[in-house]
């Protein structure tokens, strides 16, 4: 007569895995020290936004400014830039500027030879 082997219960391995995961999360949760409860973080809601100094500002009425000076035409603006600045241009449009105008300005800069035209926007925080 053949002897029957003792079958192991598969739940033991599952319990071991769950236990190891529990230990891992306990250790991982204690690696970072918590921030002091009395600490007051800086609030930036009242800061005045400023355009980057190397950005072309587009007003809602279509007027343009660069480095605090009025820009008469995109061709004159682009021709006045150093060669290294032409590879990446930044546009800061007014919120009320028509999208068609913004697209037209970006397309004209690309046609003049601009490498990359980026639009600077306001980031909304939750």
- What CATH number does the domain containing 101 carry? 3.30.420
User: Hey, which residues does 57 pair with through a beta bridge?
Assistant: 65, 92
**60 domain-assigned:** yes
Q: How many domains does the chain have?
A: 1
Q: How many CA atoms lie within 13 A of 66 on its CB side?
A: 16
Supply the range of the domain harboring residue 96.
55-119
61 is a domain residue:
yes
Q: Is 94 helix (H, G, I), strand (E, B) or coil?
A: coil
Residue 3 domain-assigned (yes or no): no
Tens digit of each residue's pLDDT, the chain (126 residues): 556 666 766 788 889 999 999 999 888 776 666 666 766 666 656 655 665 667 888 888 888 988 888 888 898 888 888 888 888 888 888 888 888 998 999 999 999 998 888 888 776 444
> In this structure, is residue 2 part of a structural domain?
no
Model confidence, pTM: 0.56
In a domain, residue 38? The reply is no
What pLDDT score was predicted for residue 125?
43
Q: Which two tokens stand for residue 33?
A: 């020290």
């Amino acid at each position: 007569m053949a002897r029957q082997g003792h079958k192991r219960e598969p739940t033991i391995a599952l319990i071991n895995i769950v236990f190891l995961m529990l230990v891992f999360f306990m250790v991982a949760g204690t690696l970072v020290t918590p921030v002091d409860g009395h600490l007051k973080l800086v609030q930036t809601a009242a800061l005045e936004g400023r355009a980057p100094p190397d950005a072309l500002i587009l007003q809602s009425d279509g007027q343009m400014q660069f480095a605090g000076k009025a820009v008469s035409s995109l061709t004159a603006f682009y021709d006045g830039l150093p060669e290294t600045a032409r590879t990446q241009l930044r546009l800061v449009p007014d919120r009320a500027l028509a999208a068609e105008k913004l697209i037209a300005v970006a397309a004209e800069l690309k046609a003049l030879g601009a490498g990359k035209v980026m639009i600077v926007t306001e980031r909304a925080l939750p």
